[in-house]
Homo-oligomer: A and B are copies of this chain.
């Protein structure tokens, strides 16, 4: 692992790191904020998964998570959203597929299966690396994210309830298998059979029996993707039917941007802290 940069911030250290990933077959860059409490021992780890077109850097620069993470003593880890590089198959003109759009799946279809293994990367490989190099208490992990990353957080949590103690999302894609901006990507990554998509669709996972202690979701009412790509009502129905507690806040007038995310970031971090430190 190579350190690309570190800077003191809010009493902790915001760093950017690079390593060669076995899962993706590429170099991967990620960001870690280590809070000041880590000087006294390992701290809980909160994973933030970003949305379409993002790298690790967007939320690191605009998400405003450090103040709350330092207040609560949480480490924040921000992975990239896909493999990248000259050998990685991509559709450069398509922002909803390929680089910047890994959708947190393990692709099964050629030519994507060799690199697009973001589920394994985020769930297994990067946590192992973080456990080796940072003062992380891996017995206390939470996960959250935005949009495509909200989808990633919900599905990883539902499939790994023993791994993650807490899960929340900002404007998540709750049913990617049927949304116009994700279904084509699922087909290319996972093949034409919709049955294969269910393992990466929060509402389908719940219908198929996956459970989690509860979710916090914030959604802006002025989000241009609200009724097409995001559709939080579908998660509400799925959680109601399954008996999963869902705290869903519709936020009047907020859009899909980091101006929205940063506004409710302190609430989400406090919500995770309560569950990770309890």
Contacts and interface: CB of A to CB of B under 8 A. Distances in A.
A260 B255 CA distance: 28
Interface string A38-70: 000000000000000000000001101011000
A251 to B, nearest CB: 8
A8 interface: yes
A9 interface: yes
A10 B264 CA distance: 8
A8 B253 contact: yes
Contact of A262 (B9, B220, B253): B9
A9 B266 CA distance: 13
Given A7-B257, A260-B7, A64 B61 contact: no
The SS class assigned to the A binding surface is: mixed
A260 B64 contact: no
Contacts of A11: 263
Nearest to A33: B259
Contacts of A255: 7-8
A7 B64 contact: no
Indicate the member of A222, A257, A259, A263 with the most B CB atoms within 10 Å: A259
A254 interface: yes
Given A253-B8, A254-B8, A259 B14 contact: yes
Interface string A244-266: 00000000011101111011001
Interface of A: 7-11, 14, 61-62, 64, 66-67, 220, 222, 253-255, 257-260, 262-263, 266
